[in-house]
Amino acid sequence: MSLFYTVTIRYETLLTSNSTAPRGTMEAMQKQAGFTALELIVAIAILLAAGSIFLVQKNDIAAKHRDSIRKISINAIYYNLEEIVYPTLKGYPAKLDTKQLRAMDSDLLKDPNGILINESGSEYSYEPSSCSGDVCQHYELRATLEKEAAFTKKSRH
């Protein structure tokens, strides 16, 4: 028992002294500051997972926003054709341009990439049918969407 008592007293003296504890003692291990490699790896993994979720959500929201812009544009063209052009022409134009659709912003004829309707690579299309010269009796407007099926509007008449 005397050996145990001596070791205990020396250890307590070591812990209560103001001097720096030698390496390998309990106090030296308790005073070490910082993170372990495992803690750092876990923190980085959590941050990477959160960042990837954020990017996926951000891209999804941006695509839905572009789709809503496409729908708004197609609806604006549709109502302009039905309410303004049709009563005047008693039909629909064979080709869309800003001359026929003066009641709306001409930028709505461009898709989100800036390509004019019916041009090569455009996400918007105007397909007239039953045409006699420059006046057609029917049409179909279409926008290619990213998150949904194509958005289409057909002539009322």
- 5-61 tens-digit pLDDT: 444 455 555 555 555 555 555 555 566 678 888 999 999 999 999 999 998 889 999
For residues 117 and 85, the answer to whether their CB atoms sit within 8 Å is no
Average pLDDT over residues 129-149: 94
C-alpha–C-alpha distance, residues 79 and 86, integer Å? 10
Average pLDDT over residues 101-110: 88
pLDDT score at 6 = 46
pLDDT score at 70 = 94
Q: What is the mean pLDDT of the chain?
A: 84
Reported as a pLDDT band with limits 50, 70 and 90, residue 125 is very high
C-alpha–C-alpha distance, residues 152 and 120, integer Å? 19
In this predicted structure, the answer to whether residue 154 has a pLDDT above a threshold of 50 is yes
Residue 140 burial (CB count, 10 A): 13
Reported as a pLDDT band with limits 50, 70 and 90, residue 4 is very low
C-alpha–C-alpha distance, residues 97 and 69, integer Å? 19
pLDDT score at 99 = 83
Q: What is the pLDDT of residues 63-77, one digit of tens each?
A: 999 999 999 999 999
pLDDT score at 26 = 59
